[in-house]
A = this chain, B = another copy of it.
Amino acid sequence: MLSNKCKYAIRAVLYLASQASATKMTHGTEIARLLKMPVAFTVKILQELAKKDLILSSKGPKGGFYINEQIKKLPIINIVNAIDGADAFHRCGIGLHKCSDDNPCPFHETFKAHREKFLSTLSSTTIGTFCIDFNENHFLYVQKEVV
């Protein structure tokens, strides 16, 4: 459903959101190291997020990336839209054709209901709500393979 790039983006944003103050900046390499993500790729993603105003950045010594209260009020889906595009949740899981709500395949009900639910959760949960103190919930931010 979500690309790796997008998952990296979510984790990075949540980490930044967990860092309380706007004066506390973290530079890209440190974020990548802390979250065990590929360094250069992470920095690229952070730059992309900054360009799209989902995180803030500051150049120079003591610079880095950070987040403010306003951004914390944005829903998680904004990150998905920024990285994977707005139609990431509008593609069919089976991929058939010329079907619709009126003319569905046997999967339609189940598939659509759950996609909508996932989407609505991503839309109603803000970055601030999702993020929990990093030190207490370190588990949240390091990728795993299998649930």
Contact = CB atoms under 8 A, between A and B. Distances in A.
Interface of A: 1-2, 4, 7, 10-11, 87, 90-100, 103, 105-107, 110-115, 117-118, 121-122, 125, 129-130, 138-147
Oligomer: number of copies: 2
Given A91-B147, A114-B117, A146-B90, A139 B96 contact: yes
Contacts of A97: 139-144
A113 B117 CA distance: 10
A7 B142 contact: no
16 contacts: A4-B95, A7-B95, A90-B147, A92-B147, A96-B140, A96-B141, A97-B142, A98-B139, A98-B142, A105-B130, A106-B125, A107-B125, A107-B130, A110-B121, A113-B117, A114-B118
Given A107-B121, A107-B125, A118-B111, A144 B93 contact: no
Contacts of A94: 2, 7, 10
Given A100-B147, A107-B121, 11 more contacts: A10-B95, A90-B147, A93-B118, A96-B141, A96-B143, A97-B143, A98-B142, A105-B140, A106-B130, A107-B125, A114-B115
